């Protein structure tokens, strides 16, 4: 999950103190049940689509925005698969920023667009069988999230 510009502004005020942030993850599935994942530019690892909920934005709005930004598709959100947090959802970024995410995970169906990487946050998109995703290179947060909801 990339740090949104507003988070960077918060950092100017709080320094490297731990931030607890609401976030979303979106798990679009195709008719065959495969999951749409993205490869992150900054780490090269596969991840779920998602990010921080911005001020005055609902989790549903954040899920739609993040899906369009990171994967180029519009989705119909399905049920909430979980609301997750804890030690596995804590990230220390290379610059020393530390964030603890509380993540609302949505199931989703693609209803428009063609999956594509945005070239800024994501370098690749791919459909994966749910039983194969655990073999992919991914970060601790993504691995914990998928383990919790699949």
pLDDT of residue 17: 82
Q: What is the rounded average pLDDT of the residues 53-79?
A: 97
Domain of 50, CATH number, reads 3.90.79.10
**Burial status of residue 112 (CB atoms within 10 A of its CB: 0-12, 13-18, 19 or more):** exposed
Task: Answer whether residue 22 is part of any domain.
Answer: no
Task: Answer whether residue 2 is part of any domain.
Answer: no
Task: Answer whether residue 18 is part of any domain.
Answer: no
Domain that holds residue 141: 27-149
Task: Answer whether residue 21 is part of any domain.
Answer: no
Task: Answer whether residue 90 is part of any domain.
Answer: yes
Task: Answer whether residue 12 is part of any domain.
Answer: no
Write the pLDDT tens digit of every residue in 121-148: 999 999 999 999 999 999 999 999 999 9
């Amino acid at each position: 999950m990339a740090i949104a510009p507003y988070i960077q502004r918060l950092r100017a005020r709080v320094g490297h103190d731990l931030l607890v942030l609401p976030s979303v993850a979106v798990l679009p599935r195709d008719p065959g049940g495969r999951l749409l994942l993205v490869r992150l530019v900054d780490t090269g690892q596969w991840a779920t689509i998602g990010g921080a909920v911005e001020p005055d934005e609902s989790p549903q709005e954040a899920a739609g925005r993040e899906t369009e930004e990171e994967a180029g598709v519009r989705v119909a959100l399905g049920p909430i698969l979980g609301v997750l947090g804890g030690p596995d959802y804590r990230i220390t970024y290379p610059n020393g920023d530390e964030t603890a995410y509380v993540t609302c995970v949505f199931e989703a169906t693609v209803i428009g667009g063609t999956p594509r990487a945005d070239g800024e946050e994501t370098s690749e998109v791919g459909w994966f069988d749910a039983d194969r995703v655990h073999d992919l290179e991914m970060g601790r947060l993504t691995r914990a999230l998928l383990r919790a909801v699949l």
